[in-house]
Structure 1
Amino acid sequence: MTTPTPTSLEAFGPAAGPRSRLARWLGPIVVFALVALALHALHGELGQYRTRDIVHALWSIPGERLLYALAFAVLAYAILPAYDWLALRYVGRELPMRRVAFGSVIAYGLSQTLGFSLFTGGAVRYRFWSAWGLSTAEITAAAGFASTTFLLGVVAIAGVVFLFEPRGTVALLHLPLVVVRGAGGLALLLVALYLLWSATRRAPLRIAAIEIAVPRFPTALRQLAIAAADWGVAGAVLYAILPANARPAYAPFLGAFLLAQFAGLVSHVPGGLGVFDALMVHLLAPYLGPHEAVGALLAYRLVYYFLPFVVAVMLLTGYEIRRRVPLRATADLATRWVPAIVPHALSLATFVAGAVLLFSGATPSVRSRVSLLDAWLPLGLIEASHVTASLTGAALLVVAWGIRRRLDVAYHLTLALLALGALMSLLKGLDWEEALILCAVAGALLPARDAFYRRTRLMNEPFTPQWIVAVATVVGASIWLGLLSFRRNPFSSGLLLRFATHADAARFLRATAFVVAALAIYALLRLLRGARPELAPVADPGELGEVRAIVASAPSTVANLALLGDKRLLFAESRRAFIMYGVAGRSWVALGDPVGPVAEHRELAWRFREEADRHDAWAVFYSISSASLPFCIDLGLSLIKLGETAIVPLEDFSLAGGSRKGLRRTLKEVEAEGGRFEVHEAGEVPRLLPELRRVSDEWLARKNTREKGFSIGYFDERYLASFPVAVVRVGDRIVAFANLWASAGREELSVDLMRHAADAPRGSMEFLVVQLMLWGREHGYRRFDLGMAPLSGVERRELGPMWARAGAWLYRHGEHFYNFQGLRQYKEKFDPLWEPRYLASPGGLALPRVLAGVSILISRGVRGVVAR
């Protein structure tokens, strides 16, 4: 008996070494450092100004200019769906423009507010596109195409401005004329080369094993037009806000705007926050005072970022409300895919609400409002309300993560915190604006109750480095804002104990001390929960006993693979359901759908994801059915269609008719050579094991292969003795065999190991399969699972080769009937129904390592991959 040990598989790579953990923290820390540098630069620029000067500059912007900016913002967001429309056309997907526009407005409204990676891990677009049926490769290609379009517009407009309007740009950027014109000429040359390439090249661009389809020349022209229009209008939003008598000409302004936006993008700071603003304040210094520039930038962010975000959240909220009433005119547009994005949008809204409270606590109150409160309320209540509001803001930053993770407790806690924050905002300074924002977020949360179904403690949820750094960034920014607001107040230890009606600096200092202390205590409590738990061992005999009872009631025969004993098990809290999985490097690979009552599947999948997160690993689901796709989308996983499983209905199965002539001939030929079919119950199998071992060893030697595992069984006497075995005998000698899997209620019948001796009659394996189907029909089984086959026809799709090869590659390692070479044409003989099977995993650069890990598990080690 040769059972693979966990160590042999984990040798592929540690789940997460120090270098891996450092790499996960490096990006967020760099973002934090860049924001800190940008705020430091702004602090220097605003040296002689106070927050009230910036607020005055903001409120002094005429309404007419804001209306112009709003009109340009609406036009800009009307252009943005064209990016996705063109990208989807590029990958051969023609979708209704209404659907594309709806998804784009939500995706861009959410992502441009604080960025993709910080809050959604780059999943906003993916969640829409995957729900519309796009494969991971198509999504990757479409996203890459959209990014290319985006950059093409930057390069083209910058080239035109730098080459044909260089003097204003020279004045703004303080660069030599020759450098600016040279950069413009180079930029336009790059655009021209791209257009020439698209006009002349027809063959796909190959980079390693990846094929990139070259866009046609008309498509490239559309890219240029869409991106140029987008950037031109986006710049006009800010330009419209600037005073007409104190701003540069539009062309040099647009060049500076593009430069600042590009710097913000390269920095990976969400929304370019701080980086873009610091550069624009510096570049506009010859025309505007720093406080006026910051006021204009605040108005720009309000119009171009915050309002679209509010619209996106309202669209999602409106959907949730419509979903609950009988007349749902637009529900068919988004029934399947909007719920998946709702928690992410509401998580972002909750985070923003927390930031609003912290920033409010770091800025001076409106004196007239506080004076009015002082006449009616005791000073102690006002002071306590200020601290409580800031603590509530910090709590919302933390609880927002639970909203993203769909926690039931986070939902109720967030509603309570929002109500408390709104009340405290009124009590601390009649800040009705902040209270209104918090009430709006609460209103968006209320109809989305069904999205928060996970009954898990918030303390059990592992935070990502990105989220931790995001919280630290907001808290740090609020401290910076407070220091800027009260820079003329002498800070001392005595200030903490100063209580007065208009002592805003003292209130800021106390609130900051409480917030920092509260977050530090929370972090310490999480650290004291202990080190990362040890990796669970493979299933022991006791667990296999529990599993056997669950498998006996499972409708799918694949659940029997849990009895192989080579996988780890994660049980539901009720112990009525489980996930079987293997570990290879950073990949935790769950095999098939969760086993047990369907009501337990979703929470169990989340627990699996959380356990993988705790070990700095990737949660992967291999060979899952369509029933598991909703929770995989909830988990933020990418989908690859591996193939389709052939299911043969047995109630009407027969050998009659012309299409079954070949099968009848096979039966006659094998029977003519003395072959006969028998089924032996599990209790009879031990006495057959020596003969079965002989047949198996002959088969392996003849195929020059070794045993596989994980998704298919291997010859293990304990495992084989757990099931009935079907055999083909010639005389008294066994020449072929297969172990039988039967599901609960005679729902499904299938086989695992199928092997034959060298001297078996020709066609013995087909004879065995046909006889099993006839036997299953006679014994009341409803269907026969013939196993998975690669997709047919995918090689004809423009983007098919990359993801089709990935699925076929895994299939070659993991197909039950691999002695038939996985020929789909063979299985078509039985007129099966085809059911899709998927791989759900992290996408992007993680995918190759995930595929390698799955292959290693199936091949029982690296050697098995190389040596068949």
Structure 2
Amino acid sequence: MKSIIQWFKKRLGLIKMIFIISVLFIVVSELLAIGKTISFEQLGAIFQTLPFWKLLLMLGIGLLAVVPMFGYDIVLNRTLEQKVAPAYLLETSWMINSINNIAGFGGLVSIGLRSEFYGKETDGKKVVKALSKILIFLLAGLSIYSLISFLLVTLGGKNPYLEQYSIWLIGGGLYFPIVLLLTMVRKDEYIGDIPMSSRLQLILTSFLEWTGVLLSFLLIGSLMGISFHPSQVIPLFIAASVIGIVSMIPGELGSFDIMMILGLSSLGIPRETVIVWLLLFRLFYYIIPFLIGVVFFVKNLSHTLNHRYSGVPRELAIEVSHKLLVVLVYFSGIMIVLSATIPEAFTQFHWLKQLNPWSFHLLTQFPAIILGFSLLIIGRGLAARVSRAYIPAIALILITLLYTLFKDLSWSVIILLSLLLIFVISSKKELYRKQFVYSWEMRTFDGILFAVLALLYAVIGVYNLPSFPHHHRRFISFFLFPSEKIWFSGLLGILLITFFIFIFIRYLQGNKHQIGEPLDKKRALALLNNYGGNTDSQLVFLNDKNMYIYSNTAGEETVLLQFKTYNNKCVVMGDPSGNSEDFPEAIQQFIHEADLWGYLPVFYEVSESLVMLLHEYGYDFIKMGEEAHVDLVSFSLSGKKRRADRAVMNRFEKEMYRFDILSPPFLPETIAELRSVSDEWLGNRKEKGFSLGFFSEEYLQLSDIAVVKNQKDEIIAFANIMPTYTKKEGTIDLMRYRQDAPSGVMDFLFISIFNDMKNNGIEYFNMGMAPLANVGTSRKSFIQERIAFLVYNFGSTFYSFQGLRAYKNKYASDWVPRYTLYSRDSSIIYVMIALLIIDNAPIDGNQKKIHGIKRILKNRYQR
């Protein structure tokens, strides 16, 4: 015996799982069986004849009838000496009892479910004892009503049909006295030993439960206007219930219905009326409470699974629910507009009619057009996960539901709208964004969709003009429209909804909050000096970007990101600066805040170390090129390889050219001379910013400047030395020279800088990017990178990519890859467009101007 008990204990989890699956199978089977007995067309006809207030009252009666059964669970939890949260008790009790009503099996299903939901934290033997005490009183109320019904049959006059069921009423009536006697006589732990208060509460609960069932049936019949004598219907109802329970048929389906149809027909009630009566009773007492119970069941089951599997099922369910919601909303909107635009198509094509539940359920073009396009724009708000779309979505669905109920009842539409409502409510947590940013991706999709639907409507109008050749119309007959007047009403709807779309988008956008903050030079400098930076850190002082500063748990500002926002893209320039240990938390916080406000970060020209970190956050990447590094420790002009470089250096020294390092602050005369060199180098080209420095006195005053001077002590070339806030790496930014400077001046400047940095202990020099270098060279590379490879090889018309790499390769001892990472919710095409705009916009404030590709590439890489 002990071995058997141990075997069950080891497999208790599996047994519970099998039980839950079995219950689900039974319930689904019974619902399918009940569905076969229900004619939805008949229900639709009934609903159209009965006043709406009566239907609401029937629904209230059916729901109220479930409430007394809460008493079983209150007594059970008190017996188990455990406190349960009222909300949990309400949900689980409703779920257990409504499922038991459908599944049946003499209350055994309810016992199994109560063990699962209330017995987890309690000893198994104690749970079995408590449940056995509940089980024997489940039918006490039915037994009491059986005795009452027997008296009604006996004392109410001769009724041969009812008298034949007296034996069943006597049998059912004996159950309660026998159970009551057993619980009083026996003292065992399973049936006896029940406190008098608990015994009375269980009896009262069972009596109220069956009172609710009986009253539901009688009141629904009364609201239908059926004339009957309760003293005759009650015995019939109770006898049918006893037979159904004894047979243990789930939901008493079949035997109960047959008895009621035959019995009520014998009482003079038309059979068709009885069927409708039973139909409404099953709907309001069984099905609707059960559907509510299913919602509670799924919620509690998902909570258990969610807890067991670390929250993954919940996240998955919410995501799937949100996706289904968006698909259904867009599908509904498109179908409504199409049914209003080409109504004849839904008559001629059977498959199209079957696909569309909305066909012919909207009375005029005007509300159809308004409703269809409204659903589409609401769908955009829901797809963008904007919290402001929640209330309008619910309001629109409820308005549509009411319109359908009052104007043209359709079960398919009601089911679809109910699903939409459930999905909206269940997706509330997914609608977390505080504002709507209308991205290019969204505009493209919506623009095409709205344009196609509106254009189709306009074409239909032209096609139906009296002047249009009639002999053409037979080819596309489903384009025919009922009348010009109806078409014109739809056109007014389109014009009206266009105005509404602009208003609604503006509502979703809110206050157009931007993340980050303008440059605060003191805070940025303090962070960089305390925690270090990189070769891109100094670009923040160009003041053409926003900064985002992360503070650790101690409140210290440790990480700096610099970025620029265009459309919904927050383009972050380079790696974060500051304490590398805080980079993961800083990036996660930045992505979270950007997502909260509807933005998508793009990380531009970042190092390999950031690729794996951002990949965990769902980011894809594309290699942008390689960065040339010069090993200064081993750098030397000796050897055959450096013969040309030695010649350059000797020539410039012989011709009395001089290299010098100027330190700030610079005199106005020096700035003016540097500006003259810069302007001559630029010519007609515009300064660029973001990833490159531009000539700004405020910016140049922050760092040393390496210059080359001629024999007259005039500056002919210069490069500002960018602080990297690290002792290992050095680099430059602006690198400009006069047109009449001797050839090789930049080689002289570079080599002089290398030697100076080497003498100051710098380990390597960063010469900057060679764009598209070694990108897409493998056949297995991403398609985006393969396209970039073609640009690299055949793009010399626009820009000498290969020439730039060849020049930097003269000095480079190592090439380090650089990547751009973007969210999977972004289109790579629009990401690249945003990068081109931001990285090539002139610094004169005309940031929104899109330049030609040739000009962009020509001016792109200036270092």
* TM-based fold match above 0.5: no
TM (norm. structure 1) is 0.43
Higher relative contact order (CA 8 A, sep 6+): 1
Which structure is larger by alpha-carbon Rg, 1 or 2?
A: 2
